Amino acid sequence: MALQASPFPNGCVAGAHAVGWALILPCFWFLDRLIAVCKSTTLERTQRQEQECYLHPLKVFFGSIAFFVLFLLTTPLAFLGFLLWAPLQACRRPFYYHRERPASLEMETHRGFELTGKASFGFASANLCLLPDSLARFNNLGDSQRRAALIGERIVQGVCRPHIRIFIDSPSSCGTLSPSNSMLPTSSSTYGATDRQAPTPGHESHRSAPRALLSQGLREQDDVPWEVSSLFPANVDILCLEEVFDKRAAQKLTNVLKPVFGHILYDVGLYACQPPCGCNSFKFFNSGLFVASRFPVLEAEYHCFPNSRGEDALAAKGLLCTKLLIGHNQKQKKVVGFFNCTHLHAPEGEGKIRCDQLNMVTKWIGDFQAVHKRQEEEVAFDVLCGDFNFDNCSPDDTLEQNHSLFTEYRDPCRAGPRKEKPWVIGTLLKQPTLYDESVNTPEGLQRALEREDLRRQYICPPVPAAGLPLVYPENGQPWIGRRIDYLLYRESSVSTRTEIEEVTFITHLAGLTDHIPVGLRLNITMDSGSNE
C-alpha cells in the first residue's frame, strides 16, 4: 500500500496548520528580507561594481528600516499563528509524500528482473544549500527560490537524456565515453553570471567545439569506472538532496521533478518542541532531506538525531529510511530496494558527535529493515547516502574515518581510513570562489576538477588536527581535497550480486550550490537460487 500523501491525520488538522503557518509567514519573510538586504554575495558585489551602482548603500539603509518596521507590525500575528501551529506538530507525520499518477503501472517498476534477472540502477546525491535566502547568503549563495527552479531544470535536463555509451576502438582509448561529456550539449549558463540562457528541459543545442574525445568519458582505475560529468547522469532512478530547508524551494523542486520522479518525499523532519523537550529539542527547520524516486515508496521512517549542538540543533537533522517497490523477479517474487539518506553534524572538531550519529544510523537502518524486510521478497539494493560532513583525508576527522559503518557499507571512492583512491575528487567547494569565471559554468568547473592545480584553488583543503601542522598530500599522492558527500552500498543485506557500473562527479550545478553532486550506478544480478 502506498503511503498517505498528507502528513496530517485529517483535513481539519491540515487546515488549522495551514492557517497557523499563513499567520507566521509574513513576519518570517520580512525578517528574512531584513537580513538579506544587508548581506550580499560576491556575485552581487561584482555586478554592482560592473554597473557602477552607487545607490546600494541607500537601498540597504532604507530597505533595512522598511523591513524592520514591517517585521515588528506582523509580529503579533506571527505569535498568534505560532500558538496554533506549534501544538499541531505533535500529530504531524515527519514528511509529505507526493505521488504522480503514472500512465500505466509498468512505468513505476523495473521489468529487467522479470525478464533476465539483471538490472541497472542509478543514484545521485547533492547538497543544495536551499536555506531561507538570508541564511544561504552566509554560504555565498542567494535567491533560494530561483536557484531551486534552476536546479530542478538542470537535473531534469540531465537525467532525461538517453543512457548511451560510445566505444572507441583505439589503442589509446579510455574505453567508453559518456555522452554527457562528448556528444551531447551542456548548458553554459550560470546562475546570475552570464547572459546566455540555459536550454530548457528536453531541448538540446549543439556545442560548437567539443573537446578531444579521448580525454573524455569514463576512465577505469582500481576496477571502478568513473568520470567528471558536466550533466547529471542519464536515467537516475533515485535522487537524494540535502539542505532543502526552505518549504517554498522544496515545493518548486517538487513541481519541476515530479514528471520524471513520480514519488517524492519532502519537508522531512520535525518542528517545534519534541520529546523529551530538552534545551536542544526545539526545531526551527526540518532535516533538509528530499528524496525523489521513480519507484513507489512502500515504507518510510524518519529519525531525528538527539545529540545535535549549537546552530545544528536548530534543524531536525536525522536519517530517512525508505523501502521501494522495484518490480518482480523471474519467479514473480516481489523485488524491493532499501534507500537511506542522512545529513550529519556540521561543525569541525566535533567528530565524537558525528560518530555517535553514525552509530544511530547503523542501528536505525538495522531496525527498519528488521521490521520491513519480508521473507517472500528479494532485495535488489541497500544504499546509504548524504552529506556526512567529514572526509577521508582530514586529520581532524580520524574518528569518523575509522567508524565501523565502513565495514558494512562499501564506499567506492575509499581505499581505507585516511586513504582515498587516486582518481577521487573532493566535493566541497570554497565558497568565496563559487562565481569565478573559471568555474561558474558546468563545463568550466568540469575542466577545473580534471586538473590537480585547479582543484587546489577551488576545492576545500583538509582540516588539520588541533594544534598540529597539516602535511597534505603525502609524497607521491594526488591532491584530492574534502569529499564529504557519500554514496555507499551494502552487499551483505541484498539478494543480488552487485557491480559498480560508474561513479560520477557532477558539475551541472556550478554556481548554484557549494557542493559537487555525486552519482553511482550499480549493476544488479539476481542470485541463481532466487530465480530457479
Query: CA-to-CA distance for 529 and 532, rounded, in angstroms?
Result: 5
Query: Is residue 21 located within the same domain as residue 144?
Result: no
- Residue 247 belongs to some domain of the structure: yes
Helix axes 144-159, 247-257, angle to 10 degrees: 20
In a domain, 146, yes or no: yes
Distance CA 291, CA 114 (A): 26
Residue 233 shares a structural domain with residue 372:
yes
Residue 24 shares a structural domain with residue 63: yes
**Residue 168, domain member (yes or no):** no
Q: Is the peptide bond before 179 cis (omega within 30 degrees of 0)?
A: no
497/377 same-domain check: yes
Last residue of a domain, one of 35, 59, 82: 82
**Helix (H) or strand (E) run with residue 414 in it:** strand 414-416
Regions in the chain scoring below 70 on pLDDT = 1-2, 51-53, 102-112, 163-218, 220-222, 274-280, 528-532
Which residue type sits at 207? R
Distance of alpha carbon 115 from alpha carbon 120, whole angstroms: 13
Backbone angles phi, psi at 324, to 5 degrees: -115, 145
Q: Are residues 404 and 494 in the same domain?
A: yes
In this structure, are 108 and 78 located in the same domain? Answer: no
**Which of 50, 82, 114 corresponds to the end of one domain?**
82
Q: Is residue 197 part of a domain?
A: no
Q: Is residue 20 one of the residues assigned to a domain?
A: yes
Predicted pLDDT at 325 = 93
Q: Are strands 238-242 and 118-127 parallel, antiparallel or unpaired?
A: parallel
Query: Is 227 part of any domain?
Result: yes
Q: Is residue 169 part of a domain?
A: no
Q: Is 427 in the same domain as 500?
A: yes
Q: Quick one: CA dihedral 423, 357, 155, 516, positive or negative?
A: negative
For residues 297 and 324, the answer to whether their CB atoms sit within 8 Å is yes
Q: Which residues contact 33 (CB under 8 A, 6 or more apart)?
A: 63, 67, 133, 134
- pLDDT at residue 276 in the model: 58
Are 77 and 102 members of one domain?
no
Which CATH number do you get for residue 225?
3.60.10.10
Over the stretch 35-65, which tens digit does the pLDDT of each residue have? 999 999 999 988 887 766 678 888 899 999 9
The DSSP element (H or E) to which 24 belongs, if any, is: helix 11-36
From 263, 343, 508, 515, active-site residue: 515
Q: DSSP class of residue 300?
A: E
Q: Are strands 263-266 and 297-304 parallel, antiparallel or unpaired?
A: unpaired
Q: Which three cell numbers stand for residue 63?
A: 530597505
On the 0-12 / 13-18 / 19+ scale of CB atoms within 10 A, 473 is middle
Among the candidates 24, 57, 82, a domain finishes at 82
Sign of CA dihedral 367, 369, 370, 372: positive
Residues 46 and 148 in one domain: no
- The pLDDT of residue 173 is 35
- In degrees and rounded to multiples of 5, residue 220 shows phi and psi of -120, 130
Same domain, 365 and 404: yes
Distance (Å, whole) CA 485 – CA 308: 19
Query: Which residues span the domain enclosing 510?
Result: 94-161+220-526
pLDDT reported for residue 284 = 92
Question: How many residues are recorded in the chain?
Answer: 532
> Structural domain tally of the chain?
2
The verdict on 71 and 154 lying in the same domain is no
Inside any domain, residue 202 = no
345 catalytic residue (yes or no): no
Classify 485 as helix, strand or coil.
strand
Task: Please indicate, yes or no, whether residues 394 and 418 belong to a single structural domain of this protein.
Answer: yes
> pLDDT tens for residues 234-287?
989 999 999 999 999 999 999 999 999 999 999 999 998 866 555 567 899 999
